[in-house]
Chain A
Amino acid sequence: MQNDKALLSQLTESVGGSGDEGEPRKILMDKVRNLVDEVSVDYLGNVIMRKNGEGLGRHPRIMLAAHLDEITLIVKKIGDGGFLRIAQVGGFDPRTLLGQEVTVFGREHLYGIIGSKPPHLSTLEERKKSVPLDELFVDLGMAEAKVRELVRVGDRLTIRRKTMELAGDRMSGKSMDNRASVTALAICLEQLKKLRFQPDVYAVATTQEEIGAFGAETAGFRLQPDLAIAIDVCHGEMPGVEADLAKKLGDGPVITFGPRIHPKLYKKLLDTAKKARIPFQIEVSQGPTWTDADNLQVVQMGIPTALISIPLRYMHTSVETLEFSDVKNAGLLLAHFIANLNSDFVEELTWYLKN
């Protein structure tokens, strides 16, 4: 457990924006190398971790997808005075950026602050409105010439944030979305060492989810699995959010029901959780889930797809907060699901008719 928490801290304190996931990729690969039969990286940077099933006959192919990337910012212009103008890679709430400390990944790692106009100098009118991204700037505290030497357009930056252990089993930091699920993948692979299972497992840490789930889509095309499960985060319960849109922290991983989800996979996940006595919650969706699952479902001739989520408060900020037991239980649920899977079940997935 402590080990897994350490992995989550390590992953969340590394920086890997969409399309630039090198740092967390390395941490993950070092961690799982001994847990699986093969680790490979494809063109889009997806980490594909293969663990072979056992037994004769056809092994069902299952793909697990947890995205490795996080939302970051990018330098768009070096303005007068060396102040940096920035754009999104993914979707921060711009209101949460004001006054944050950042690291700019230039020729060296640079300390910066997202500047804000002090209240003394702003008009009443200005204070009523939030500051749009295009008016934000990063102050590196150095002369323009030096900035131009060390930073170029296209360099990434993100908020500096140490991952914290909060009261009880809760943790907070940046990029819990979705390193929590990547950690759950690692926990699942560890569990599989203790279990017997038939399917060939392709656990994939996918890239570029935050800008369109491109990694999952292309990895799905390459692997052509019989079924796929995406692991992501969902909104944690908090005041002012409708009950069906947010789930409780610590009450277990969330299993999604809805048009993007294969009904038999949904049911099998529920049965697995009940049998293995893993706590779980249910979430209903009516269309897009905004996760890798959406893209995976329609790859090639279509892939039966399911979604497991970890409840998380304050999504897309630098203080994303979760309860670690949900991460652990997501990993356990995946492992038990795999152990209960056989080729008969997989063959039934494309048959919907009553004769």
Chain B
Amino acid sequence: MVLKKLTEAFGPSGFEDEIRQVIYEEVKPYADHVYTDALGSLIVEKNPGAKGTKILLAAHMDEVGFMIVNIEENGLLRFRPLGGVDPRILVSKVVRVGEKRHYGVIGAKAIHLQQPEERTKPLELNQLYIDIGAKNREQAENLVEIGDLAVFATEYEEFGDRRAKSKSFDDRVGCAVLIELLKQPTTLPLVFAFTVQEETGLRGAGPVAFRVKPDLAIVVEGTVCFDVAGTPSHAESTKQGAGPALSVVDGRTIGHAKFRDFIKGVAGEEQIPVQYRRTVGGANDVGAIHLTEMGIISAGISVPTRYIHAPAQIIHLDDYENTIRLISAVLGKIEKGGHPIQ
């Protein structure tokens, strides 16, 4: 199960070694050429040098995580986040720490010990610590060192109505979509990029685009979704089960309208549900890719993901499958009809 394998792999922003190796093993049988770049992005080529529209398909493999920055006298670990994490969600969650993937719990003072006014205030980062069970600094230093990384320890499970929960669907679901697409036959020169460091500022994608120089780019994301009761349509960003979400405008990109319309048209022809991403907040690798060199026509297609950047994230498996179907149909149409914009 590729979703389980990918989402449970370790790979905080800038430290993608484990997830990169997991993806590498998955893609090796289907790739014509695989390599990494200076930042560690994994680049997989299919039909390099073939005639036809060269398309870059990108998904970031990094996830939000934490770095151990200090070890206290009492063996507790101070940490800081890599990427945007809301400190309020951290308390009483479980993480895996360091090369050995030790379990750790994020603790805080028990409610019995809190003053009444403390209970209404969210906990700040400097009040939180990771407890790996070490009695003192010496014991902790035998297990971890400063600079070690941690990620949430959530396991993949399917539940409810075609739902799956795990950590890091943002953006391992995009990585899974790319892997499934890679397995499909095509004559197009395709480049699949599993980029690094999206969560700390869209760092990996620009150098990849500069290297690849594609005619078109599609970024596949797990994007923000808040379709819970009482939220008006424009405030929920996306809705689960309503299909892949097309980006319109976000913090780093004004979407390419013609390419978006082309993708929407293909969805219509193939009767694949699609929706628009209805918020301007956030950004994805399109922000870096579309401004590379002389500009690259790009689109963002996302699987709606509830509770992104939190320990337990939810996707709808129909959306996941429809995202694969949609991009597959888009590629098929370009394979037959050529570059859709000129």
On A, residues with C-beta under 8 Å from B are: 242-244, 257-260, 262, 282, 284, 286-288, 297-298, 300-304, 349-354
Chain A residues near B332: list those with CB within 8 A.
Answer: none
Q: Check if B67 sits within 8 Å of A284, measured CB to CB.
A: yes
Q: Can you list 29 residue pairs at the A/B interface with Cβ under 8 Å? A: A244-B69, A244-B70, A258-B14, A258-B67, A259-B15, A259-B197, A259-B200, A259-B203, A260-B14, A282-B147, A286-B82, A287-B13, A287-B82, A287-B200, A297-B203, A298-B203, A298-B206, A300-B207, A301-B211, A302-B204, A303-B38, A349-B38, A350-B37, A350-B38, A351-B36, A352-B36, A352-B40, A353-B21, A353-B42
Any chain A CB within 8 A of the CB of B24? yes
Q: Check if B70 sits within 8 Å of A243, measured CB to CB.
A: yes
Q: How many chain B residues touch the partner (CB < 8 A)?
A: 36
Please judge, given known A-B contacts A259-B15, A352-B36, whether A284 and B69 are in contact too, CB under 8 Å.
Answer: yes
Tell me which residues from 18 to 46 in chain B have a Cβ below 8 Å from any Cβ of chain A.
Answer: 20-21, 24, 34-40, 42
Chain B residues near A354: list those with CB within 8 A.
Answer: 21
Any chain A CB within 8 A of the CB of B227? no
Chain A residues near B17: list those with CB within 8 A.
Answer: 352
Any chain A CB within 8 A of the CB of B214? no
- Considering the chains assembled together, what is the distance between the CA atoms of A349 and B13 in angstroms? 18
Q: Check if A244 sits within 8 Å of B20, measured CB to CB.
A: no
- Considering the chains assembled together, what is the distance between the CA atoms of A287 and B197 in angstroms? 9
- Considering the chains assembled together, what is the distance between the CA atoms of A234 and B67 in angstroms? 19
Convert B74-107 into 0s and 1s, putting 1 for each residue whose CB lies closer than 8 angstroms to a CB of A.
0000101111000000000000000000000000
Residue of B nearest to A299 (CB): B207
- Considering the chains assembled together, what is the distance between the CA atoms of A258 and B149 in angstroms? 10
Nearest-Cβ distance from residue B141 to partner chain A, whole angstroms: 14
What are the 4 tightest A-B residue pairs by CB atom distance, in nearest-first order? Answer: A259-B14, A302-B207, A302-B38, A244-B69
| Most B CB within 10 A of own CB, among A288, A297, A352 | A352
Chain B residues near A302: list those with CB within 8 A.
Answer: 37-39, 204, 207
Chain B residues near A242: list those with CB within 8 A.
Answer: 70, 126
- Considering the chains assembled together, what is the distance between the CA atoms of A323 and B187 in angstroms? 62
Chain A residues near B50: list those with CB within 8 A.
Answer: none
- Considering the chains assembled together, what is the distance between the CA atoms of A168 and B67 in angstroms? 36
Q: Check if A350 sits within 8 Å of B35, measured CB to CB.
A: yes
Q: Check if B39 sits within 8 Å of A257, measured CB to CB.
A: no
| Most A CB within 10 A of own CB, among B20, B40, B197 | B40
- Considering the chains assembled together, what is the distance between the CA atoms of A242 and B79 in angstroms? 12
- Considering the chains assembled together, what is the distance between the CA atoms of A304 and B83 in angstroms? 21
- Considering the chains assembled together, what is the distance between the CA atoms of A303 and B210 in angstroms? 12
Q: Check if B36 sits within 8 Å of A287, measured CB to CB.
A: no
Chain B residues near A262: list those with CB within 8 A.
Answer: 38
Any chain A CB within 8 A of the CB of B146? yes
Any chain A CB within 8 A of the CB of B48? no
Residue of B nearest to A244 (CB): B69
Q: Check if B201 sits within 8 Å of A288, measured CB to CB.
A: yes
Chain B residues near A352: list those with CB within 8 A.
Answer: 17, 20, 36, 40, 42
Contact of B36 among A260, A284, A353 (CB under 8 A): A353
Please judge, given known A-B contacts A258-B14, A352-B40, whether A287 and B24 are in contact too, CB under 8 Å.
Answer: no
- Considering the chains assembled together, what is the distance between the CA atoms of A353 and B207 in angstroms? 19
Chain B residues near A287: list those with CB within 8 A.
Answer: 13, 82-83, 200-201
Please judge, given known A-B contacts A282-B146, A282-B147, A302-B207, whether A297 and B39 are in contact too, CB under 8 Å.
Answer: yes
Q: Check if A301 sits within 8 Å of B37, measured CB to CB.
A: yes
Contact of A301 among B24, B38, B67 (CB under 8 A): B38
Nearest-Cβ distance from residue A220 to partner chain B, whole angstroms: 12
Chain B residues near A298: list those with CB within 8 A.
Answer: 39, 203, 206-207
Q: Check if B69 sits within 8 Å of A304, measured CB to CB.
A: no
Chain A residues near B68: list those with CB within 8 A.
Answer: 284
Convert B176-206 into 0s and 1s, putting 1 for each residue whose CB lies closer than 8 angstroms to a CB of A.
0000000000000000000001001101101
Chain B residues near A260: list those with CB within 8 A.
Answer: 14, 203
Chain B residues near A257: list those with CB within 8 A.
Answer: 147
- Considering the chains assembled together, what is the distance between the CA atoms of A196 and B42 in angstroms? 36
- Considering the chains assembled together, what is the distance between the CA atoms of A288 and B13 in angstroms? 12
Please judge, given known A-B contacts A260-B14, A282-B147, A300-B207, whether A353 and B20 are in contact too, CB under 8 Å.
Answer: yes
- Considering the chains assembled together, what is the distance between the CA atoms of A258 and B197 in angstroms? 11
Chain A residues near B20: list those with CB within 8 A.
Answer: 352-353
Residue of A nearest to B146 (CB): A284
Tell me which residues from 196 to 231 in chain B have a Cβ below 8 Å from any Cβ of chain A.
Answer: 197, 200-201, 203-204, 206-207, 210-211
- Considering the chains assembled together, what is the distance between the CA atoms of A56 and B244 in angstroms? 56
Known: A282-B146, A349-B38. 14 other contacts (CB 8 A): A258-B14, A259-B197, A284-B67, A284-B147, A286-B69, A286-B80, A286-B200, A287-B200, A287-B201, A298-B39, A300-B210, A301-B37, A302-B39, A352-B42
Residue of A nearest to B16 (CB): A352
Residue of A nearest to B196 (CB): A259
Chain A residues near B78: list those with CB within 8 A.
Answer: 244
